[in-house]
Amino acid sequence: MHLVEILTTYDALVPVVTGIIITVGPSFHLFGFIMCVGATAGRALKTVLQGILLSSEDEKMNSMNLLRYMAPMAVILLVPATLIMEREAFGLVATLAREDPSFIWILLCNSSMAYFVNLTNFLVLGNAKVAVAVVVSILVFRNPVTFMGMLGYGITVARVVLYGEAKKRSK
């Protein structure tokens, strides 16, 4: 890959970051920013590993097999984290399940939806799910949206699409 192509590809990220800064605006919080950077780095690592595993000729792994191996790992990582950070969570779940048995069905539905989100992420949607999540957040949950927030989000989404196209062309 030529240096000019690399610079053009990563140049597309500057407006993405600008859009995010506009979207966040005055609600910036340092701890939230650090957690966001950590989550992004973790997701990037997962995406890179996923790409390697799905495209490797030696592994011959498909999306369903990858998801089958990743789901137990997520449980192994998240259950201890929940026990440490939200000590009362399991007791609360047990209490809610005793009070309303349909709560277990709600949890199972939630788990199924999480599975299908991951499945669609592996198969088709990728980063498009973020845009869908924001639209659902606005339409279903009536989360307030400012003009600056919409402008920032619009810039971010448009530049992510352009970045993806620039990456494709540079290959």
Per-residue pLDDT tens over the stretch 114-124:
888 777 766 65
Separation between Cα atoms, residue 119 and residue 16, nearest integer Å: 26
Q: Is the pLDDT of residue 1 over 60?
A: no
Confidence of residue 102 (pLDDT cuts 50, 70, 90): very high
User: Which residue in this structure is represented by tokens 């999540």?
Assistant: 133
User: Which one has a higher pLDDT value, 63 or 108?
Assistant: 108
For 39-92, the pLDDT digits (tens) are 888 888 887 887 777 777 776 777 777 778 888 888 898 889 888 989 888 889
Exposed / middle / buried, residue 142 (Cβ in 10 Å: 0-12, 13-18, 19+): exposed
Separation between Cα atoms, residue 56 and residue 48, nearest integer Å: 12
- The 3-state DSSP composition of the chain as helix, strand, coil percent (nearest 5) reads 85, 0, 15
**Residue 6 pLDDT:** 66
